[in-house]
A and B are shown apart, each in its own frame.
Chain A
């Protein structure tokens, strides 16, 4: 049996963002979802990757499910420069004409993808939380939050190709690593360096930000507008300390200054997947719920019985967070007190 070298239908492509490879998993997440889209479209899912000395990443993408890799390598592609990368990816798309092109919604991706779409004169949906193939016509249905996150909007790109979407990190689940996997790699001639580029990056330094492991935390305590004040947030910190967890907050809480930006949970912040999330005074905008949906068990407290957060939670309490929280803290402190007493007793005994 000869191996099929070209699939019967135009491919599904994922852009390979290999910066900070071990922490930035969005490419692998898209690759996993791209595989299921490709299956529905009877084609294969490929990664398009740019850079310099990227052979390791190419192998990694194949191990994580890429069924083909298109690569453009050159020293001047070493840095992720938006304009150069946009020209390069547009060139690859024009040669191979994929049907779908997915790009990770990092800060870079959100500058880069719109330029690629504009050059290709095609559509682009931002911050998608679902992507599926309409079985009746093969169209990619791109779903994103709308109206402040209360509703979902379904969008298609009827005539133009590729159908493009950005997806934030943490929305889809990556596939396991399979070191035995093989796939063809196609090298494309590099686009030339821009002459006389007016934009020059003078300095890049890693942000000295508070070390916070929201993404890895087993317990996350989170608050939203319903916390009312930073005093409200201090209750969340007390609860988190009692449970050995981390504190996060929604975008409105960040805007109010109740919690630093680095601790924002949401599509434009961080995605969490703890064993338990306790979420207080968060109505449940989709931008927030998209970033918590991989949590094992969600406990939500909100005053509004119709708040969408109760459709995302496992245990819901209709009530004022500022009433429930002190009771919960007192109960946990009482247990802890009992435990300390009993520990002291057993130490004596």
Chain B
């Protein structure tokens, strides 16, 4: 079974975390990391390969340094990697991205499964998976939680709009996208790191190799255009209190009283019994 995993390198965001009672900014020494849900897709792929022999190929489109993400995926256990990188690919929206990825997939020896995260942790539109499937003319199932192999077909389970669904795909290939799987991504074994750099193959393809024209990819092949970023307008004018927690608590209580008609006593359920005086 040949399994292709599409991954994206996203910026590492410094996030404050409470570690041993202290607030610290957690930062890894990397410029980028593999998007969270793509890692889950990779984990699902590695488990499927363990269940049935095969090959896991990782694919990404990005600037040259996106190679780091591919090396990490190789260290995690993927067999080989393909980097789609070309200045012409820059500025792609999901339409152009899906065109580029689909063309690369057509040129790879036909995979049985194409897996990726249901949305990336940066822009996170969740549109590339379904658009890739549309381009390739194959099915797509999003939010997959479980994949079971059954001869030549597969069974998948997922939850959508508060329904649990069991779906059979009678023919492959198919695109599956993941939001959460029960198995956390595995740790990177140290001995695999040198394999990822020295042993396992990593290919680089540009526009010419894909056989697409420049107006199908990148910003030129995109239907949308970003016209600007801005700070969100303040939606309300908050009265902001600081430095005096007791006074802050008093103000919160007053706000609750007037908004919920708490009438100084008890909870909101007392309203019926204690109608406010008017």
Contacts and interface: CB of A to CB of B under 8 A. Distances in A.
Interface of A: 19-20, 24, 82-83, 86, 106-108, 110-115, 117-119, 121-127, 141-142, 146-148, 151-160, 197-207, 209, 218-219, 225-226, 228-229, 242-245, 252, 275-276, 278, 286, 289, 293, 296-301, 303, 305, 308, 310-319, 323-324, 327-328, 331-332, 335-336, 338-339, 342
Contacts, number: 262
Interface string B118-136: 0000111111111101110
Contacts of B249: 324, 327-328, 331
Given A110-B126, A154-B226, A118 B168 contact: no
A83 B79 CA distance: 33
B266 to A, nearest CB: 5
B244 to A, nearest CB: 9
Contacts of B18: 228-229
Interface stretch (B52-60, B81-89, B199-207, B228-236): B228-236
- Most chain A beta-carbon neighbours within 10 Å: one of B169, B223, B243, B252: B223
Contacts of B140: 82, 111, 115
B16 A293 contact: no
A126 B127 contact: yes
A102 to B, nearest CB: 15
A118 B131 contact: yes
19 contacts: A107-B142, A107-B161, A110-B126, A114-B134, A126-B126, A142-B224, A151-B230, A156-B224, A197-B139, A199-B139, A199-B167, A201-B167, A202-B166, A202-B167, A207-B159, A243-B260, A275-B260, A311-B235, A335-B265
Nearest to A209: B162
A243 B252 CA distance: 12
B212 interface: no
B257 to A, nearest CB: 10
B246 interface: yes
Contact of B232 (A108, A296, A308, A317): A308
B130 A115 contact: yes
Nearest to B125: A126
A160 B227 CA distance: 16
B269 A115 contact: no
Given A119-B134, A148-B13, A319-B248, A243 B164 contact: no
Interface residues of B, number: 85
Contacts of A19: 161
Contact of A118 (B98, B123, B236, B239): B98
A311 B240 CA distance: 10
B230 A154 contact: yes
A316 B239 contact: yes
A338 B256 contact: no
Contacts of B259: 275-276, 296-297
The majority secondary structure among interface residues of chain B is mixed
Contacts of A328: 249, 252-253
B161 A313 contact: no
- Most chain A beta-carbon neighbours within 10 Å: one of B122, B224, B234, B253: B224
A300 B243 CA distance: 15
Report, nearest first, the 6 A-B pairs whose CB atoms are least far apart. A123-B223, A123-B224, A228-B18, A126-B125, A318-B242, A311-B234
Nearest to B142: A111
Given A115-B131, A117-B131, A155 B225 contact: yes
A198 B225 contact: no
B113 to A, nearest CB: 13
Nearest to A206: B163
B95 interface: yes
A97 to B, nearest CB: 16
Given A122-B95, A244-B269, 17 more contacts: A107-B160, A115-B133, A123-B95, A124-B94, A198-B169, A199-B141, A203-B166, A219-B260, A225-B16, A243-B267, A298-B238, A308-B232, A310-B240, A316-B241, A317-B240, A328-B249, A339-B265
B255 A276 contact: yes
Given A228-B18, A297-B255, A315-B239, A242 B267 contact: yes
Contacts of A276: 255-256, 259-260
A306 B162 CA distance: 37
- Most chain A beta-carbon neighbours within 10 Å: one of B15, B129, B239, B256: B256
A331 to B, nearest CB: 6
A305 B223 CA distance: 39
Nearest to B258: A297
Contacts of B248: 301, 317, 319, 324
A153 B231 CA distance: 9
A117 B123 CA distance: 18
A43 B264 CA distance: 52
Nearest to B15: A225
